[in-house]
Amino acid sequence: MTQAGGHTERVRQRTHEGFLRHKGFLWAQVATGLCVVVIGVYWLTAIRLHEPPSGGSWLGYLLGTMGAGLIVWLACLGVRKRVITAGHYSLKAWVSAHVYLGLSLIVIATLHTGFQFGWNIHTLAYALMMLVIASGAVGIWAYATLPERLHGNRGETTRRQMLDMIESQDRQLHELAQPLDRDGAAVVRLSIEDTDLGGGFWKRLTGSYDDCANRRALARLRNLPSPTSAKQAEALTKIEQVMQQKAETLALARRQMQITAVLEGWLFVHIPATFALLAALTAHIVSVFTYW
Amino acid sequence: MSEVYKIAIIGSGPAGMSAAARAAKKGISHILLEKTDHLSDTIYRYQKGKHVMATPSVLVLRAECEFDAGKREKILDQWNNDVKAAGVNVKFNAEVKAISGDKGAFTIELKAGGAIQAENVILAVGTQGNPNLMRCEGGNLPHVQYSLDDPGEYTDEHITVVGGGDAGIENALGLIADAGQNNTLTLLNRGADFPTAKKPNVDALLAARDAGRITVMTETQAALVEPGWLTVDTPQGQTRYKCDRIIARMGAAPPRAFVEAAGVQFASPDRSAFPTLTPTFESTSKPGIYVIGALAGYPLIKHCMNQGYDVVEFISGNTTLEPADEPLLQEKLKGLPGRRSVSEWLEFLRSRVEILNGLSPLQMREFLLDSQVRAYKAGEPIFVRNEPGSSLFGIAEGSVKVEVDPSNPNITVPIGESSIFGEVGLISGRKRGATIRAAEPTICVEIPRMAALKLMSQVPQARETVQRITTERQVLQIFKSGLTPADIAEVLAGAEVFEVKPGEAIINEGDISDDLYIIRSGSMIVEKNLGGKPVFMSYVPAGSYSGEMAMIERSPRVATVKAAIRSTVVKLPAEPFRALLARKPELAKRMTDEMRARREINEFIESQKEEFGGAVDMYSSVANFLIKQGIGEATDVLLIDESLCVGCDNCEKACADSHDGLSRLNREAGTTFANIHVPTSCRHCEHPHCMSDCPPNAIRRGPDGEVFINETCIGCGNCQRACPYGVIQMDKPPPKKPPLWEWMLFGKGPGPGQPPYEWRKKAAKAEGGESPKLAIKCDMCSGKAGGPACVRACPTGAAIRVTPDAFLSVARIEKAG
């Protein structure tokens, strides 16, 4: 912050670039450069040896230290995202670096293994890391492709408005049901009381709502015996219309939840796998130094 | 009734009550006559729980009764106790019919019968005791009322409010505030518009109408009142509808006939004129009758109470009484060179500073209470470039020099005695554009923005002077090129300042006209008809000019220029300007260069339109969308690129966590066009609507152009109602959250972001204590080195903050094309 005549000149993030293109793919270039250098050094070292350098070699230790350092730093994104400090930082830049440096781990860690795999804690740590990276790749795909669908789906309707719409449709149904007989009222009650908007994560992710109470109510409504009075007939017609509208609102809200579920879903693998990785990594490092 | 009172006081409002209390304390024989059965009927009839303000805050209260800002009930209780304690002789239900006689022997005739003899009469009846009545048939029925005490009292009723002034609108809004009361509201307004009401009130009323919560009938008058029904005359004819209660708020008039009948003359036949009085409040035409309070033209409670005290002192022969504000002014003027008394200073400033010439001595006193007088040594800075500040300065003695070139302080422009400076801050509330130093020993009066605006609205002469000087300076500033006021005098002589409504054109494509326009406030958009469709060419912010091509080249207009928002423009006639260009080749070159640059942009867009029509159409429609969203008056706006936004709401969380736990933006709300989403978040308008009516003047513009609310906010909600973008909320900061690591490790507290309502309620209960709801809005993370947290915390780069002129540039076509 520079002071000039009582005026605070602050740094402003005004450039309009997504996290993948951040600063003209700066971090992609850094990560690629890192990979090229690492592969080059590895190759130069390997051609002079009978078998490729393992984790125990000087190069292995170097790559291992780099990899472990990167993993710990990458995991810090979770903290960076949540601690809103006043200083100059850009979460976008962090995410950009996180993505590309995270991908570079594929090269660094694989070379660190010296292509030696087995049923041990070391390979477990490697496998967990690859799982984290794979889930992260899903995340990149989701972040790069889904936002337009997410916003295209909702238009200018907010979550709150969707819920309000359903609530108001329920109120309309309740009022329209007044002249109905017991069977008719039961159908309306089914739609009002038993409709489950979201459900569990899996349900939201797959978007399968075949058992939706509103849908069943609509089906039963159409199969009701002919009403006895004109008043009831009119009410039934209106109820069918409102239920149809409710079905549309539900579909809109559920599509929204489905896209959100995909946008969030990969994190349910990425984050726990990261913690497992940190544990396995610790075990890997401790065991390596214990059994040296 | 043989007793002759020394003083009879008519009206027990703040002024009359204060006079009576003073008389009682001094042991003067007196009587206080009140029409109703309680004191201070005007305040009594305020809406229940109304917060009564004690402005002007700098004025000292000199009275026997206490008064402080607070709830109506508390104030009335206080006064009742004070009046009792002082031993005031009050006569309730004593409406006065007529006053006759002369000084020393007045007879006051009461409506209820009987008469009172007094040597002096103090008239403190105010203006509210005389509401304009319903004149139609049935207007005297019991369900017609002229006040609304507690809007919460009425439920399930069909209520009609008559009158589209502030009182009527506030009552109507009060009655529908709680939908649970289930009232059916109708508001009748005689005219088509609501010219006398405050804009926020009108906006709130129209919003309620659009939401279907109230029926507003304009150009409509009541024709017949019947129990349960009301018939009205509308432009389409008569209608009769259900109406259980009528609340008539059609204004009040000074009871002029009554006052004049007593012999008191008014300044003019104008409806809003006041009686002519001596400095001791005595009628000039009828000695012995003293007029104080709202009837004398002072509607503020504190003024009224002080006048009550003073007038009793005057009557009892105290001629040396100094006004209550005298010590304040003495303190203020202490230490200035010249050894003048307060009244000499007042006269010195009034006669020397041009914009103060039209003020009366009483107005000068009030004015000086808000302002500061300072003496500067030669060379001393008065304000520095880029400093925040919005006050206006008047030069009473000496002169100043303006450093117009930031890189070379030796280039200065002088401003002489009696003139003003700093007027730019007054108009836009922005930081200072140049450093100004005293050229010689100088005495200046510094007038805060609010006081200056008040001055301009009350004294037409001051407004004209400020307008004239502003135009001159703006022209000099825009065209620079070493022009002097003498150079442009001829151009300015024909200058015309006028307002343009949003969407209204000042220049039409193809027209034969050649005047030049300066955009003083607001902004313009330039459109050109290409292939039968208007295409957005460029954005012209305040402080620039438009229309130079036709002026220089004497050709028809090449594009249409219309207002993006409500704007003020200055029209400069072409002929004298062309003469000026002929005399000043430097200016001519400058304008020709700029014209060429503008033409290149236009030609670029036109050529692109032929090749990449789609990209240009997109650019044009995005620009138009943003203008519709009010970007035209924004200085810095948050936009969200929906092709990048993953909906994580980290922007909202970051906002809450950097501002006492409350988010000032709503990402999801707001409108969207072509992947550009304008969330509900402050745009830091060039002329902030929220600033227009802030009683404590708590809304300021900070050093980075941010509009923020400081800690003096009283929570009145005016700004929230005034903001057309709905970005101000009234809320109280939630209790402190446990530290983040405790949440991360042990799940303690609600985690990052604005805590949910339930948690807040529980935590507030545990914490105890009530905090008031205050106005809360974006401050652009004022003072934080990293800049706005919403943008910093966006993981994907979807959130950006832009200025309209940067965002609405042709660079967008190049990108898309």
Query: Min CA distance, A9 vs chain B (Å)?
Result: 7
The Cα B147–Cα B126 span in angstroms is 16
Token pair 């700066």: residue? A26
Contacts of B654 in chain A (CB under 8 A): 84
B interface test, pick of A1, A2, A10 with most B CB neighbours within 10 Å? A10
Chains A, B: CB contacts under 8 A, how many? 139
Among residues B83, B91, B85, the alpha carbon closest in space to that of B19 is found at: B83
pLDDT for B430: 61
Cβ contact, residue pair A92, B796, below 8 Å: yes
Contacts of B644 in chain A (CB under 8 A): 18-19, 147
Cβ contact B698:B448 at 8 Å: no
* DSSP β-ladder status, B392-397 and B442-447: antiparallel
Query: Does B245 or B218 have the greater pLDDT score?
Result: B245
Contacts of A149 in chain B (CB under 8 A): none
A6: left (phi > 0), else alpha (psi -120 to 50), else beta?
left
- End-to-end Cα separation, chain B, in angstroms: 96
| Lowest-pLDDT choice from A29-43, B449-463, B561-575, B638-652 | B449-463
pLDDT band for position A154 (cuts 50, 70, 90) = confident
Contacts of B781 in chain A (CB under 8 A): 86
Query: Min CA distance, B653 vs chain A (Å)?
Result: 8
Residues 6+ apart with CB under 8 A from B197: B164, B165, B166, B169, B205
Query: Does B273 or B137 have the greater pLDDT score?
Result: B137
φ and ψ of B730, to 5 deg: -105, 120
Which tens digit of pLDDT belongs to each residue from A3-59? 333 233 344 444 578 899 998 899 999 999 999 999 999 999 988 888 888 888 899
- Looking at residues B632-641, what average pLDDT do you find? 87
Which tens digit of pLDDT belongs to each residue from A127-138? 999 999 999 999
Yes or no: is domain B144-248 CATH 3.50.50.60? yes
Q: Which of A1, A84, A159 sits opposite B793 (nearest CB)?
A: A84
Cβ contact B11:B34 at 8 Å: yes
pLDDT for B428: 56
* % of chain B surpassing 70 pLDDT: 95
B785: left (phi > 0), else alpha (psi -120 to 50), else beta?
alpha
B interface test, pick of A84, A88, A256 with most B CB neighbours within 10 Å? A84
Mean pLDDT of chain A: 89
Residues pairing with B5 in the sheet: B118
Which tens digit of pLDDT belongs to each residue from B361-385? 777 887 888 899 999 999 999 998 8
A143 touches chain B (CB under 8 A): yes
Cβ contact, residue pair A151, B669, below 8 Å: no
Contacts of B658 in chain A (CB under 8 A): 84, 86
Contacts of A80 in chain B (CB under 8 A): none
Q: Which of B643, B644, B657 sits opposite A84 (nearest CB)?
A: B657
pLDDT for A4: 30
Residue B231 predicted with pLDDT over 80? yes
Contacts of A15 in chain B (CB under 8 A): 800
- How many H helices and E strands in chain B? 25, 41
Residues 6+ apart with CB under 8 A from B594: B548
Residues 6+ apart with CB under 8 A from A170: A191, A192, A246
pLDDT band for position B429 (cuts 50, 70, 90) = low
Looking at the domain B626-733+771-816, which fold is it? Alpha-Beta Plaits (3.30.70)
Query: ipTM, 2 decimals?
Result: 0.87
Cβ contact A180:A232 at 8 Å: yes
- Residues 161-200 of chain A whose Cβ lies under 8 A from any Cβ of chain B: none
Which tens digit of pLDDT belongs to each residue from B164-191? 887 888 889 888 888 888 888 999 988 7
Question: Where exactly are the structural domains of chain A?
Answer: 22-149+267-290, 159-265
Which tens digit of pLDDT belongs to each residue from B553-608? 888 999 999 998 888 899 999 999 999 999 999 999 999 998 998 888 888 888 88
Contacts of A90 in chain B (CB under 8 A): 791-792
Which tens digit of pLDDT belongs to each residue from B655-708? 999 988 899 999 988 888 888 899 999 999 888 888 877 777 788 887 778 899
User: Residue A262's closest chain B neighbor by CA?
Assistant: B646
- Looking at residues B41-57, what average pLDDT do you find? 76
**Level-2 CATH architecture, domain B490-609:** Sandwich (2.60)
Among residues B637, B708, B706, B721, the alpha carbon closest in space to that of B671 is found at: B637
Query: Min CA distance, A241 vs chain B (Å)?
Result: 24
B422: left (phi > 0), else alpha (psi -120 to 50), else beta?
left
Residue B391 predicted with pLDDT over 50? yes
Domain spanning B4-129+254-315: which superfamily? FAD/NAD(P)-binding domain (3.50.50.60)
- Residues 195-254 of chain A whose Cβ lies under 8 A from any Cβ of chain B: none
The Cα B646–Cα B649 span in angstroms is 8
**Level-2 CATH architecture, domain B326-466:** Sandwich (2.60)
> What are the structure tokens assigned to B390, written together?
């919005």
Cβ contact, residue pair A7, B704, below 8 Å: yes
Which tens digit of pLDDT belongs to each residue from A92-151? 999 999 999 999 999 999 999 999 999 999 999 999 999 999 999 999 999 999 998 988
Cis before B703 (ω within 30): no
pLDDT for B813: 59
User: Residue A6's closest chain B neighbor by CA?
Assistant: B387
Cβ contact, residue pair A95, B795, below 8 Å: yes
User: Residue B434's closest chain A neighbor by CA?
Assistant: A5
Q: Which of A22, A85, A148 sits opposite B643 (nearest CB)?
A: A148
Exposure class string for B568-601: b at 16+ Cβ within 10 A, else e: bbbbbbbebbbebbeebeebbeebeeeeeebeee
Cβ contact, residue pair B647, A150, below 8 Å: yes
Question: Where exactly are the structural domains of chain B?
Answer: 4-129+254-315, 144-248, 326-466, 490-609, 626-733+771-816
Cβ contact B383:B415 at 8 Å: no
A61 touches chain B (CB under 8 A): no
Contacts of B670 in chain A (CB under 8 A): 156
Cβ contact, residue pair B647, A147, below 8 Å: yes
- Looking at residues B334-348, what average pLDDT do you find? 87
Residue B783 predicted with pLDDT over 90? no
Cβ contact, residue pair A13, B791, below 8 Å: yes
Residue B397 predicted with pLDDT over 80? yes
Mean pLDDT of chain B: 86
- Looking at residues A212-235, what average pLDDT do you find? 88
